Amino acid sequence: MIYGTTARVLRVDLTAGSWEIETLSEEFYRLYPGGKALAGYILLNEMLPNTDPLSPENILVMANGLLTGAPVSTATRYIVSARSPLTNAYGESEAGGFWGPELKMAGFEAIVVKGKAPEPTFLWVQDGEVEIRPAHHLWGRKTAEVQEAIRTELGDQKIRVLQIGPAGENLVRFAGITNDLRHFNGRNGMGAVMGSKNLRAVAVRGNTRYQKLARDPKALKSLGRELANRVKENPQTWSLQDAGTPVLVEPLNTAGMLPTRNFLQGAFENVDDIKWEVYESELLTARRSCYACAIRCKREVRVDGEPSAYGGPEYETLGALGPNCGVGDIHAIAKANELCNAYMLDTISTGMTISFAMECFEHGLLTLDDTDGLDLHFGNVEAMLTMIKWIASRKGLGDLLAEGVRLAAEKIGGDAHYFAIHVKGQELPMHEPRGKYNVGMGYAISEIGADHLVVAHDGMLANADGIPFKNARPLGITEAQLPRSLNDEKMRQFYVLEKVTSMEKVIGYCFFGPAPRSYIRMEEVVASVNAATDWNLTLDDLLEIGERATNLARVFNAREGFSRKDDTLPERLFSPLENGALKGEVFPRDEFESALTVLYNLKGWDLETGTPTRERLETLSLSWVADLLE
């Protein structure tokens, strides 16, 4: 027995309509213990270069973290991975909720899907048994309807349903995946990959609790109880429990870092209409959580005066479909969020794509003829809501925008590329690099395109007296750094912090759990892994696991033709912000290139190509990857 895991992978061939179970060895699992590492290994080892992301040959991996399902707050995460149809690079999207823990309870660590079903299909996984079922009756329906239909069909309201929506069926390149209608694998177009395989949903139900897998279940349970009791001792986790991520809107606006009108501005004149106090009084109905998590950062809301079947908008959604589109109506944003969740669109890319179209419209690159008479000026609520429906159904201009801003800009031509705010094809999240330089470096260097979960954000380590900084000391972080700095020490810290975040994506912790972002200290992360397994790992061992996962993804991209030239930022970020506390500030281009060189040196990547060197790969026990590159 390998402690802490079922060590079983469900492999499904939809073309053949067959499935089999693979049992991983402990030697293998210690190198690739779930999540990002396991997904990266499978994609790199089993998929040919230049595979069309929307072809049957693309491989879709749904992989739990090592601790996913453990009785410890924030250990809920799983990865969905494939070659991305949005970026053509390594694709990855995380989610929490209950589906990942339920998959583990059903007997599997991962599901690997190959081929394409000849007709609409869904998977039913229950306590080690698997069934491929027809889904004609589910195709074309909104996500809430499908979840209820599956639970009714299978006779169990406790079944956890992971699914795409009509946007995934229509191959929108930024279509997402949801579980329980409230937790989302939003980024990188994983929903389009699932849709291209005619796979509408994966329903799971299991009865094997994680405690039966752990080496020391009592120690794990005790640690979980201690951490749950500590939530309100940390200001950041207390704030998340009370208000969730929507609380970020007002302070980021005050700091000049609330992306507004397609990243032209850093402050929104109508912020008082969408801040947390308004959200709480106008929308909030309840607070919810992920599996075994004491933080409870999820919000429930009412839309059109009725309780919504979907979760309330998070900060990213508030920003992307609010100020980023010039919209200051909290009810309209909540409606937009509900529409995205019903059709299953990534709210970040949807908001960014609509704001791109709005700016193109205001500059005459799109006309009323292109929009079928729709006024796409910034701030037009009805236009924003209409475009969500058009994108999901690929109607009119929505068919073009469903390709994402990079491809849309290429087809529009002219100066449209300047309004396409993306990295490697993925639209930027709602965090302003001109005020947080680590975030900008993370956008540039991320293998999946612009991503705000690459490293801890700059402000967390700017105050030497703050709790996050003190909790980061075991990582060798001893000097506070200014948010708007790219010096060598800050890049050394970036290198370490990236390993932490990648490690979390392997072992299944949420970004809101471990230090420095939150309240679980590094020694407790190590203790939780060692209570689950008998591996007796150190913090350095865990950081190496994280670095190994990052390098697998990086080599995947190198094999697909990505290089240093792709580790860049949109031109807009090198231009001055138009308003707010950071008015006139830019992301410094020359310092950026120098910092990138420092990072490459730290990572052991070739300075010209950005490809991991054989020497670095061998130190990470990845000699086979170096051979593959050659």
pTM of the model: 0.98
Confidence of residue 320 (pLDDT cuts 50, 70, 90): very high
How far is the C-alpha of 390 from the C-alpha of 394, rounded, in Å? Answer: 5
Residues 6+ apart with CB under 8 A from 229: none
pLDDT of residue 239: 85
Q: Are strands 8-13 and 110-114 parallel, antiparallel or unpaired?
A: parallel
- Would you call 476 helix, strand, or coil by DSSP? coil
Residue 6 · residue 125 · CB < 8 Å:
no
Is 90 exceeded by the pLDDT of residue 231?
Answer: no
How far is the C-alpha of 177 from the C-alpha of 163, rounded, in Å? Answer: 6
Place of tokens 């790992």: 537
CA-CA-CA-CA torsion sign (46, 52, 54, 55)? negative
How far is the C-alpha of 535 from the C-alpha of 531, rounded, in Å? Answer: 9
Confidence of residue 517 (pLDDT cuts 50, 70, 90): confident
Q: What is the pLDDT of residues 153-177, one digit of tens each?
A: 999 999 999 999 999 999 999 999 9
Across 321-342, average pLDDT: 98
Query: What does 551-593 look like in DSSP terms, one character per residue?
Result: HHHHHHHHHTT--GGGS---GGGGS---SSTTTT----HHHHH
Cα separations in angstroms, 32 against 36, 42, 79, 81, 542: 8, 10, 13, 15, 11
DSSP secondary structure code for residue 77 in this structure: -
Q: Which domains does the chain have, with CATH numbers?
A: 8-212 (3.60.9.10), 243-414 (1.10.569.10), 437-629 (1.10.599.10)
Is 90 exceeded by the pLDDT of residue 400?
Answer: yes
Q: What is the pLDDT of residues 266-287, one digit of tens each?
A: 999 999 999 999 999 999 999 9
Confidence of residue 33 (pLDDT cuts 50, 70, 90): very high
Q: What is the pLDDT of residues 124-147, one digit of tens each?
A: 999 999 999 999 999 999 999 999
pLDDT of residue 570: 98
pLDDT of residue 628: 93
pLDDT of residue 422: 98
Place of tokens 């429906």: 389
Residue 527 · residue 255 · CB < 8 Å:
no
Is 90 exceeded by the pLDDT of residue 233?
Answer: no
CA nearest to 308, candidates 280, 284, 330? 284
Residue 117's Cβ-side half-sphere holds a number of Cα atoms within 13 Å equal to 24
CA nearest to 596, candidates 483, 494, 528, 515? 494
Task: State the chain's mean pLDDT as an integer.
Answer: 97
Is 80 exceeded by the pLDDT of residue 234?
Answer: no
Cα separations in angstroms, 590 against 481, 523, 593: 19, 38, 5
Across 420-437, average pLDDT: 98
How far is the C-alpha of 178 from the C-alpha of 143, rounded, in Å? Answer: 8
List strand residue ranges (DSSP E) for 1-68, in order. 8-13, 18-23, 60-64
Across 338-348, average pLDDT: 98
Confidence of residue 467 (pLDDT cuts 50, 70, 90): confident
Report the residue count for the chain. Answer: 630
Across 578-602, average pLDDT: 98
Residues 6+ apart with CB under 8 A from 150: 122, 138, 159, 161, 163, 201, 203
How far is the C-alpha of 493 from the C-alpha of 481, rounded, in Å? Answer: 9
Q: Take residue 92 and report the two structure tokens written for it.
A: 């990855």
The number of beta carbons lying within 10 Å of the beta carbon of residue 187 is 29
Is 80 exceeded by the pLDDT of residue 232?
Answer: no
Q: Write down the H helix ranges in 243-370.
A: 249-254, 276-282, 315-321, 330-343, 347-362
pLDDT of residue 409: 98
Percentage of the chain beyond pLDDT 70 is 100
Is 80 exceeded by the pLDDT of residue 235?
Answer: no
